[in-house]
Amino acid sequence: MGVLPEYSKEVKEATDHLYELVKDVIPRMEWEVKAPYIYRINQLKKEKNILILAHNYMTPDIFHCISDIKGDSLGLAREAAKTDADTILVCGVYFMAETTKVLSPDKRVLISDPTAGCSLADSITGADVKKLRQEHPGVPIVTYVNTTAETKAEVDICCTSGNALKIIESIDSDEILFVPDRFLCRNMQTQTDKKLIEWSKGSCEVHELFTVESINEFRAAHDGLVVIAHPECPREIVEASDFSGSTADMINFVEDRRPKKVLMVTECSMSDNLTGMYPDVEFVRPCNLCPHMKKITLENVLETMETMSPEVFVAPEVIDGAKRSVERMLEVK
Ligand code: 13P
Ligand code: SF4
C-alpha cells in the first residue's frame, strides 16, 4: 500500500467537517486513525475518477465520509445505471457489485472484498431456477436482487425490497414464483391477491435472528417506542412492528416522522449512520451485524483504489440475461 499521511493539520482541516456526522459513534482517538484513510481515499477518487457507491449497511466512516452515492439496493442499481464515472467502487456485498457490472458492462467495477457474500444469494443457483421452471411450467419467476448474476439471468424479472409489491402487481399472472427470500415472500403475500410460491431454502442470516420477545421487551422498557423492520424479517417480526420497508424506506420513515425513540430491526450500521443525521431521535438497539457487509473497511477500500483491484467480471452471456431481468425491474414505474 502507498504511504498513508499522518493525522496532520492538513488532514485534520480537510476532514473535520466529516467528523460532525460520525462523532456520536466514532471516538476522537479512533477518528484520528481513520481520518488519514478518508483523506487519501477522497484524493484518489478525484485523481482516478472513481465513483463510490455505498449501501446503507456500510459503517459510518464509509457511509458518511467517502461515499458519493448511498442507498438501498434499488437506489444503488438506479445510480449504477446512469453514472458516467470510468470506475465504480461498490461498498456493499458481491451481488451488488455484480448488479452494477451487469448494468454498466463497459465500466470497471471494483469491490474491496469479493468474498463479501449473502446468505440469500447463496441459497439459489441458475440451475435451481431452470428446475423450478420445469416444475411450474408457465409460472413467471421473480427474483429478489440479492442473487448472483447467473441466477438473475434465468428469471423473468428482479425486484428489491423497495419495489417488490409493485413488481408483483405488474406481472400478468395470478401465480408467481418469488425467490429466494421466503420471509420477503410471506410478507408480500399479505399485500397481494396473487398466489406467491416461495423458495423454502432462502432467508437472510441477519434478519432471521430477531425475536418477537426481544421487541416486546424493548417496547416495555421504552415508552412510545416506534419499531420499524426490514421485510427480510420473519412474518411475526413484521407483524410486531409499526412499519416495514427497505433500508431507504426506513430512513425516509425516520426523516418524515421523527419518532422520539425508534428501534430499527435490521443491520446495526443503519442506526449508527442515522444517529448523526437525526440528533433529535433516540436509536434504541438491538441490531444484528451482517458479517459480509462488515468485510468492507476503509483499509481495503484504499488498497482497492491504489491497485484498481479486485475487479468484478461477469461472463458476457450471463450479462445479457441478467441485464434483461434488472432492466425490466427498472422500467416498472
Ligand atoms: P435493501 O434493498 O433494503 O437495501 O436491502 C438489501 C439487503 O441486503 C438487506 O439485507
Ligand atoms: Fe444478505 Fe442479509 Fe447481509 Fe443483506 S443483511 S447482505 S440479505 S446476509
Helix axes 298-307, 28-48, angle to 10 degrees: 20
d(CA 61, CA 108): 24
CB of 146 shorter than 6 A to ligand 2: yes
Ligand nearest to the CA of 119: 2
**3-state SS of the chain: helix, strand, coil percent to 5?**
50, 15, 35
Percentage with pLDDT > 90 across the chain: 93
**What's the mean pLDDT when you consider all of the chain?**
96
CB of 148 shorter than 6 A to ligand 1: no
Q: Using the mean position of ligand 2's atoms as its centre, give its distance from the Cα of residue 47 in Å.
A: 32
Q: Which residue has the cell 438501498?
A: 72
Phi, psi (degrees; rounded to nearest 5) at 89: -105, 120
Domain 207-284 sits in CATH 3.40.50.10800: yes
Residues 59-62: contacts with CB within 8 Å, 24+ apart?
Answer: 59/269, 59/272, 59/294, 59/297, 60/21, 60/22, 60/25, 60/26, 60/269, 60/272, 60/273, 60/276, 61/22, 61/26, 61/34, 61/37, 61/298, 62/91, 62/296, 62/297, 62/298, 62/301
The yes-or-no answer to whether 120-202 and 207-284 have a common fold is: yes
Decide if 265 contacts 241 (C-beta within 8 A).
yes
CB of 271 shorter than 6 A to ligand 1: no
Ligand 2, atom 1: closest residue by C-alpha: 118
Q: Per the confidence metrics, is the pTM higher than 0.85? A: yes
CB of 72 shorter than 6 A to ligand 2: no
Using only C-alpha atoms, what is the Rg of the chain? 20
CATH hierarchy code of domain 120-202 = 3.40.50.10800
233 is known to lie in a ligand binding site: no
Q: How far is CA 187 from CA 124, 128, 150, 264, 329, in A?
A: 20, 23, 26, 17, 19
1 pLDDT band (50/70/90 cuts)?
A: low
Residue 288 has pLDDT above 80, yes or no: yes
Residue 116 has pLDDT above 80, yes or no: yes
DSSP 8-state code for residue 155: S
Fold that domain 9-117+293-307 belongs to in CATH: Rossmann fold (3.40.50)
pLDDT tens figures, 53-67: 999 999 999 999 999
Segments making up each domain of the chain, as ranges:
9-117+293-307, 120-202, 207-284
